[in-house]
Each structure stands twice: as C-alpha cells, then as structure tokens.
Structure 1
Amino acid sequence: MKSYLLLFLRSLALLLPMLLPQVSAAHEIGESRVVVALNATSWTALVTTAPTALINRLELAAGMLPSCDLDEARALATLKRLQGELPSHFHITLDAVPVPITVDVETLEIPADITRPAFVVLKVQGAMPDHAKSMIWQFDLLKSRYTLQLAERTHWLDGDQPSAAMPLAPEQAQTVVQLVSEYVQLGFTHIIPGGPDHVLFVLGLVLLTTRLRPLLTQITAFTVAHCLTLLLALEGVIALPATVVEPLIALSISYVAIENILVRRMTPWRPALVFGFGLMHGLGFAGVLTELGLPAQDRLAAILAFNIGVEAGQLTIVGVVCGLALFWWKDKPWYRTRIVYPASLAIALIGLYWTAERIIGF
C-alpha cells in the first residue's frame, strides 16, 4: 500500500505543475480579441478580455499579490490605480518603428448574474505615420491565443508573443487553402497545449485497457459525439450556457478516471457514457469557435478544418500513450497497479478540482 501511495504522490506531483496553472486557461482561447480601426492620422484598438486574469497579471507584474473574488467596483478601482502601468505592456510598431500610445479602460462589466459573461475593454490609441504599411502588435498580459482584426483580415496571435508584420491595407481575399490551414492549426492548438481538460479526458479513455478494440470503440464514440454537437451548436440548433457545459466537461474527466480504478475492462455502458460526454465536449469546442467567429464565406470549410485540427491533437495524445501502453507496458504485470491506478487517481482529483473551480468561478 505504501508503494502505491508513493506512486500516486509522484504522479500527482508531475501532473499538478503542468495542469493546475492552466485551470483558468481551459477554454480561454477565444476569450480575448482585438479589433484595430485605422484612419488617416491615428489608429484605435479595442482589446476585449477576461477582467480577473488581466488584473491578476497586471498586479503580479507590478509586484503585488493577485486579487481574489473581484466584483465590478473593486476591479475598476484596481484598474484605475494601475492604469499607468498598462502602456508598458503593449509593444506596437508601425513599419518597425515603436509608436507612443495611450491606454484607457473603455468598458468593464462583471455582472452579478453569473449566466452573463464578465469582460473588460481597453482602448489603445496612437498616431498614424504617413505612408505606414505594416503593424507589429504585442500585449504581454495576454497568455492564450487570441484574434486581432485589422484591415479586413483576422490574425491569430500567440498570447504574449509579438505578431508578424501585419499589412495595414486590405490584402487579396484569403484563399480556402489558407483558411483551412489556419483553422486546422487553431483546432490542434486548442487541444495541445490549450486544452488540458480535453487532454486528461482522452488520457482517461486510453488508460482503461491496453487492448486496441475497446480503445477504438471509445475514441470513435467520443469523436462522433463531439463532431455532432459542434456542428449543431454552430448552426444554432442546440445551445447550453458555459455555466453548465464547463463543469460537466470537468466532471466527465473524473468519471472516466474513477471507473478506470473500479473496473478492469470496458463495461457495456462505457461507450454510451463516453458518447454523452463527447456531446458536452463538442459544445465546448463550439463555444471557442463562436467566440472567435467564423468567416462569412467558406464557413463549413472552417468548421471542418477546426474539427480536423482537434482530431489531430487527440490522435497525437492517443498515439504517444498507446505507444507506451500497447507496446512497452502491455504484458507487464504491474501495468494497472503502477500506471493505471496512480495516474487515474491523479486525473480524477484534478477533474474534481476543475469542477469545483468552474462552478465557483461562474
């Protein structure tokens, strides 16, 4: 028993540093967006993001402890107090020349009604040099992938990293190949590294058994289900609030992990439950695309490309874990006691933590 406990603690020690810092980041992709408007003498950018994460990162950068349980009044007071620090976190160049900017809090809403989203809008303004042709944008307080709209194009930026040089004049319309490539990348990065909850769910499916057929049955059920609700949700056929979907996704992680401990092989009801959980995960995927927005043209191509990226991310996880489980550990007598039990217990605890965090957070 002592050896099992030590194995569990080691597994938990490995998993927690990788996953708990990303709790607030699960599904954060798409929460932030930037819209840049240009005129002859100036430009204005509206940055919309989640207020608590922004304020906490701003506080940490200023050497302060992060605030907890922020209501609208406290959040606004904190932002006003630290407003002078905001410009230093933007790094914006026009034709490779840094430009001075001003940053104001345009809007802040943290509704008491938990079914309504909280958000903050920052207004960033600067002068437009004559004949400027390109912009490089960086905002180091954003950590997840987000969109920036400029000159009739949508650019995807990687958190706190600088963008590539973006043209200020409208370019030729994006080709279908370019659109598909971008949405495949978005789908993949939503899983790896942006979706720790989906990663743990897939790991829970893989850990149940080293037999290939039960694994394929589960993965197929999950894939069909989340593809179905992704399409239906984006077409407006079904809708559930994130306050319901996100805790259920976290709870599904715990369920499959706990069942891994209690049973040695796939139960008759497991594929049906995995299918049901897949429906919830599909709604989560749809929420990401809804926040990001879909192109007016080639909408179906964008949806399918995103889904292909998601599947590629999932298959990457399955391939790596199966490579270990099916070929290295398949016939080891200690596979369940040293691998399945401690890993599943760690996953179950993280899933329960996420469930509570999401219920309280909403």
Structure 2
Amino acid sequence: MNAEAALVGGDPSEALRSARYRELRRLVSTELESELHEFINSWKGTLQVDANGPIELSYEGSRIPVVGNPDVVRISRVLLTGELPSGASALRLTWPADSGPMVLKQQGVDAPYTGYLDGGETSPLIPLQGGAGLDARQTLETYFPKGISRVLPHGPEQIIFVLAMLFLSVRARPALIQYLIMVLGVTTAATLGTYQMIGVSEAASAQLLPITIVVVAVWNLFARRLGFLRVFLVFLAALPHGIALSDSLSKVGIPPDRVPPALLGYLSGALLAMLAIMISAYFVTLLLSRGSHRYRGRISILASMMIALIGVYLSLGPYLPI
C-alpha cells in the first residue's frame, strides 16, 4: 500500500496536494512505521472480511522501504492475519470507504481471483480453492470503465488538451487527424510507461501536462491550418499524457499476468472519453456559430485564449498562495 497516502486520507490523487503527504515521504522507515502502526490498528476495523461470518484481523507488522527518492512512491507491505472458520469455502472482502482504489489478488491457488475495488466496494464471493481468476476478456471489461472514469471526471488536463486540439479550426477532418495522432502518442508512451521503459516524476508530470495545453492552445492563435509541424507537435504533446495515464494505471494496479488486456481496456476507456469530449464540443460550437465560418473562427480564438490561461493557471496553481 501507499502508506503515506493512507495516513493523509487514502486517495493518492488527493494526497499529492498535501504538505503532510510530502512530509511523510521523507520520514525514515522506523518513524513512518510507528505512525502506520497506530493507523492500521484503527483502520483494520473498517476492513471487512466475511467467510460464513466476520473475520477479526490482527496487525502483524509492516515492511517499509528506505526513503530513496522522495518524489517516487514507495510501496509499503502491511501484514494482517485472520483465522478462517472451519468449513469456510469462500470469502468476501469490503474495502473501506475513502481508502482509495485497490487490487485484490488471491495467491497460492490455481486460477486465483484478481479484481479491482474502489473505496466502499465489496468483492464477489471468492472461492478459497481458486478458480475465480479473470480471463483476458474479463480483465479488459473490468479496466475499460476505469479508463473512462480516469478522464471523466478526474482528468481535467486530458479534457482541456483535446479541446485545445479541436479549436485549431473546429473542422471535422483536422480534429480527427489530430485525435488519431494523439492516440498514437498516448498509446506509445503509456505502453512504454507501463513496462517501465520510460517515466517521469510526479512533480515533472504535473508541470508537463499544463505546458502541453498552453503550447497547443497558443498555436491556435497564430495558425489555423493543419500541417506537419502541428501534427508533430500534437504527437509530442500527447506523450506526457500517455505517461500520466500509465502512472494512474500503475496506482490502480495491474494483474501481472493480464498486463496487455488491462492496458488495452484502460486506454480504450480513457481515449473514448476524450473522443466523446471532442465530439460534444464540436457540435456545441457548430450550434453556437450557426454554421458561420466567421463566428466559428471567433469562437476558436476566444476558446483557445481561455484554454491557454487555464493551462497557465494549472501550471502555476501549486505555487499560488491560495
């Protein structure tokens, strides 16, 4: 688990904004363990495991890596044990609300169960002897809606980025070409990131994403045509977004034997959500412009200016005294 995120509220995406989270990242293992010990003894009461009746869990200890690079998440291991009642053949686990997402993986059996739970969700009944493992199709179907929810409503940078691409000219052909180039860039970077071939720190990613928005939006103010340089720019700008999606997928957790379908499902959901945003904005713009190319151009310029300002705000937001 991400122990530091758990100590400040559970959801890693929210914890990143907390000064307390950054402080905990820098604690040595022994200091963090003392805080984690107290937290787990209270928190485990909200972790419900049922196997023909509730199972009482006991905290057996934790293993926390050394600090290393404080900008990189360190994964701590916490051991909780509980005694199964005689005759139990299956169990069901309810993950505590406000504890962020988790991957539940059964081990030591054939065809183990692997699933994904958000805070407050309950797993299906898991046979203790195995056989409940997700196949490739089930994995894809499980991660597809997670990809959608990553963008809608939790991906403002991706939403604004596709709008910046659209408002180059608000025409179907350039928008579609840019979207396809973005898909190529996002897929390439996300695949390399998932297999840990490339990566950037969370702090660098938080700065890169708004920069891509500003650059693409400002381009719209000076050029209206789709050329090679614009296509190349969109591809380069899509790379940080792909890395960000791979980072968010790694926080969700990927079954080690189902990486390709999990990645495919997650990216398909995220990219489909981005396409839906672009299409919706396209038709709204056509409706507002009433078919007039002049009004469409004015809307594009105004929207691009607003998007660029939003990108600047997202970039400077962490440093503003608000």
TM-score band by shorter chain is 0.7 to 0.9
Distance 2:261 2:69 in 1: 36
1:139 maps to which residue? 96
Distance 1:198 1:105 in 2: 40
1:183 maps to which residue? 143
Distance 1:75 1:227 in 2: 37
1:86 maps to which residue? 43
Query: Against the structure 1 CA distance between its residues 302 and 81, is the aligned structure 2 distance closer, same or farther, given a 3 Å change threshold?
Result: closer
Q: CA deviation at 1:221?
A: 1.5
1:240 maps to which residue? 199
Q: CA deviation at 1:111?
A: 1.4
Describe the superposition over 1:104-136 as per-residue Cα deviations: whole angstroms up to 9, x where unpaired. Answer: 550234614246432333322222112222212
2:283 maps to which residue? 323
2:20 maps to which residue? 67
One-letter amino acid matched to 1:256:
V
Structure with more of its chain in strand, by fraction: 1
1:99 and 1:127 in contact (8 A); partners too? yes
Q: Choose which of 76, 83, 95 in structure 2 pairs with 1:127.
A: 83
Q: Choose which of 200, 208, 218 in structure 1 pairs with 2:160.
A: 200
Q: Between Structure 1 and Structure 2, how many residues are aligned? A: 297
1:21 maps to which residue? none
Q: Choose which of 296, 317, 321 in structure 2 pairs with 1:353.
A: 317
1:56 maps to which residue? 8
Q: Normalising to structure 1: TM-score of the pair?
A: 0.68
Which structure 1 residue ranges, 5 or more long, are not aligned? 1-47, 59-64, 358-362
SS at match of 1:67: helix
1:108 maps to which residue? 64
Which protein has greater RCO, CA pairs closer than 8 Å, 6+ apart? 1
Query: Against the structure 1 CA distance between its residues 110 and 89, is the aligned structure 2 distance closer, same or farther, given a 3 Å change threshold?
Result: farther
Query: Against the structure 1 CA distance between its residues 259 and 105, is the aligned structure 2 distance closer, same or farther, given a 3 Å change threshold?
Result: farther
Query: Against the structure 1 CA distance between its residues 131 and 208, is the aligned structure 2 distance closer, same or farther, given a 3 Å change threshold?
Result: farther
Distance 2:193 2:302 in 1: 41
Distance 2:211 2:245 in 1: 16
Query: Against the structure 1 CA distance between its residues 338 and 113, is the aligned structure 2 distance closer, same or farther, given a 3 Å change threshold?
Result: closer
1:90 and 1:140 in contact (8 A); partners too? no
Query: Against the structure 1 CA distance between its residues 53 and 267, is the aligned structure 2 distance closer, same or farther, given a 3 Å change threshold?
Result: same
Q: Normalising to structure 2: TM-score of the pair?
A: 0.75
